[in-house]
Amino acid sequence: MKTDTHPKSHPVCFIDVSSGTKFLTQSTVTSKKTETIDGIEYQVIVQDVTSDSHPAYTGEKRFVDSAGRVEKFNNKFRRVRGS
In tens, the pLDDT along 12-68 reads: 999 988 888 899 999 999 999 999 999 999 999 998 888 777 776 666 666 556 667
Global confidence as pTM:
0.62
Cα–Cα distance, 59 to 55 (Å, whole number): 6
37 backbone dihedrals φ, ψ, rounded to 5°: -125, 125
The answer to whether the CB of 13 falls within 8 A of the CB of 42 is: yes
- State how far the Cα of 49 lies from the Cα of 77, in Å rounded to an integer: 36
State the total domains in the chain.
1
In a domain? residue 44: yes
Residue 71: pLDDT over 60: yes
Asked whether residue 5 is assigned to any structural domain, the reply reads no
Q: Is residue 40 part of a domain?
A: yes
pLDDT at 61: 65
Residue 81: band (very low, low, confident or very high) from pLDDT cuts 50, 70, 90: low
Q: Which of 3, 19, 31 is nearest to 11 (CA)?
A: 31
What is the domain range of residue 21?
10-81
Residue 43 three-state SS: strand
Residue 1 counted as domain residue: no
| 57 found inside a domain | yes
